[in-house]
Each structure stands twice: as C-alpha cells, then as structure tokens.
Structure 1
Amino acid sequence: MARRLRPVGLDFIEDAPVRLVFDTGTAAPPEAVYHALAEEVTGWPAWFGAVTLARPTQGGAGREIRLRGGVRFEETVMAADPDQRYAYRVDTTNAPGVRALLEEWRLTPAGSGTHVRWTFAADGPTAFRLGLAAARPGLGHSFRTAVRALDRQLTARRGAGQ
C-alpha cells in the first residue's frame, strides 16, 4: 500500500540523515545527459536496469516510477536546471521504512563529456538507515551501470546523427 512521505525541500540533499553520493563520467555532453534525464523520462527503462516504467505526470512537474520487484514511486520534480541538475522528491511509495527521499543528478562539464554525480538523500528509522548503508555498494553499481548504458545510448545517437 502506498504511503505519503514527509515533504522535503532541496536543502534535504545536504541535511538528510542518510546521503549516498556516487560519481562517474560520460563521453556525452551535459545537454544530452540532461535531455535524457529530464525530458525523455519514458526512456529511463532503456538504460536504467532497475526501472521498469517511468512516465511524466502533472504536465512534467511529476513522475511515476516503477522498479523491478514492484516498488513504486510518485514524485515531484524539485529542480530542472538544463545542463546542470535534475532533482525529484518521492511523495508516495510502497517501499517500507522510508520517511523522506530526494534524489539529485548533478551534471558538470568534463572535457567534451560530463561528470555525473547522483545523490540519494533519505530518512527513515534506524533499521532503514542501516539497510541503506548495507545497500550502498549495490546502489553504486546500479548507478554506474545505468550511466554507462545511457552513455552508450547517447553515443549511438550521435553516431547516427540524431
């Protein structure tokens, strides 16, 4: 059953009790990465293996996300700064334990490519926090695998002249 989470602002990225931060790079420029993240929401399942459904809601101000295993999120887009960052807050979920969740994708030019930093900011009871700490390696692997797949997709597009 979906539960409503505590609404948090962008400052939660810095203040959350649990902050998992992962970094990697792409050969694609920031504008292409941002476009895939924020403007082609329905394309997430093609490059982020954990995502089975992604669709914009509320005219693009929100998102519906479904993950493998049946976890669902209804989200509000909190920041959509072209070529710089994309952030969203989870408003409702069926995931157990979580009280608040905000994710941010920060994009920085790096030569001809992009440095991508993903911050997963969350709050929940002690058991949830400990579980997230234990899940850190898996989340990092999932992030890096997803960004590599996105980079391959964007490189193929550039090669095809799109």
Structure 2
Amino acid sequence: MARRLRPVGPDFVETAPLRLVFAREVTAAPEAVFHALAEDTPGWSEWFSAVTLARPTAEGTGREVRLRGGTRFEETVLVTQAPEVYAYRVDVTNAPGARALVEEWRLTPAGTGTRVRWTFAADGTAPFRAALVLGRAGLGRAFRTAMTALDQRLASTHA
C-alpha cells in the first residue's frame, strides 16, 4: 500500500535521523554524470540495476521510479544545480515504515573525472531504520556497481 511521506526539504540531507553516505570516483566529467542523473531519467534503468523504470513526471519536476522487488517511489526534484548537485524527495512509496526520504547526488571534479557522493537520508519506524542499517553494505555494493556501469555507459557514448 502506497503512503504519503513527510514533505521535507533539501536540508533534510544534513538533519535526517539516518544518513547513509557512499562515494566513488568515475572517469566521466561532472557535466556528463550530472546529465545522466538529472536529465536522462529513463536511462537510470540502463546503469542502476535495481531500477526497473524511471521516468520524469510533472514536466520534469518529479520522477516515478520502480525498483526490482516491487518498491515504487513518486518523487519531487528538490535541487538541480548543474553540474554539482541533484537531489529529490520521496513523496509517496510502498516501502513499509518510511516517513521521510531525500537522496542527494553531489558531484565534484576529481582530476579529469568526478567524485560522486550519494547521500540517502531517511526517517522511519525503528524496523525501517534497522533494515537500512543492516542493508547498508548491500546499498553500498549497488551504488558501486551502478557507478561502474554508469562510467562504462558514459565512456561508450562519448568515445
């Protein structure tokens, strides 16, 4: 059953009761990574294996995302600051126990490539928070795999 979450702002990334932060360097330039994150929403399913569908909504100010296993999100884009920051809030989800979620992607130049930092900021019931803490290694692995796939995809499209 889908539930509406608490409408938090971009500052929730710093104040959330639970913050999972992952970072990885890729060879692609920040502009290319930002484009893949913020402007090529349908492309997410090509490089982030957990994503089965991603599409822009509300004339680009929102997103609909579906994950393997059936989890669904309706999101509002909070920050689009090219090529440094892309962030969105989950407004509606069927994930049990979630109360508020914001994801922020922060890009910084790293030599000729990009350092990608993904922050998953959440609030929810105690079982929800515990599941995220227990799932941290899996989320980190999914992030690293996604960044490798994205980097390969960007290298092939810019070759």
TM-score, scaled to structure 2 = 0.99
**For structure 2, which runs of at least 5 residues remain unmatched after alignment?**
none
Aligned length: 159
Q: Who is 2:133 aligned against?
A: 133
Spell out, residue by residue over 1:93-127, the C-alpha distance to the aligned partner (whole angstroms, 9 max, x if none): 01101100000000000010000000000001111
Report % sequence identity: 65
Match of 1:17 in 2: 17
- Is 1:77 paired with 2:66? no
Q: Deviations over 1:35-72 (max 9, x none)?
A: 00010000000000000000000000000000000100
Structure 2 distance, partners of 1:127, 1:158, is 44
**Is structure 2 residue 81 aligned with structure 1 residue 88?**
no
2:42 alignment partner in structure 1: 42
Query: Where in structure 1 do 4 or more consecutive aligned residues deviate above 2 Å?
Result: none
Q: TM-score, normalised by structure 1?
A: 0.97
The aligned runs of 1:1-162 (5 Å cut-off) are 1-159=1-159
Q: Distance in 2 between matches of 1:60 and 1:144?
A: 27
Measured after TM superposition, the shift of residue 157 of structure 1 is 1.0
Q: How far apart, CA to CA, are the structure 2 residues paired with 1:38 and 1:158? A: 18
Where structure 1 has 5 or more consecutive residues not aligned to the other structure, the ranges are none
Structure 1 residue 11: Cα displacement: 0.8
- For residues 141 and 43 of structure 1, the distance between their equivalents in structure 2, rounded to whole angstroms, comes to 20
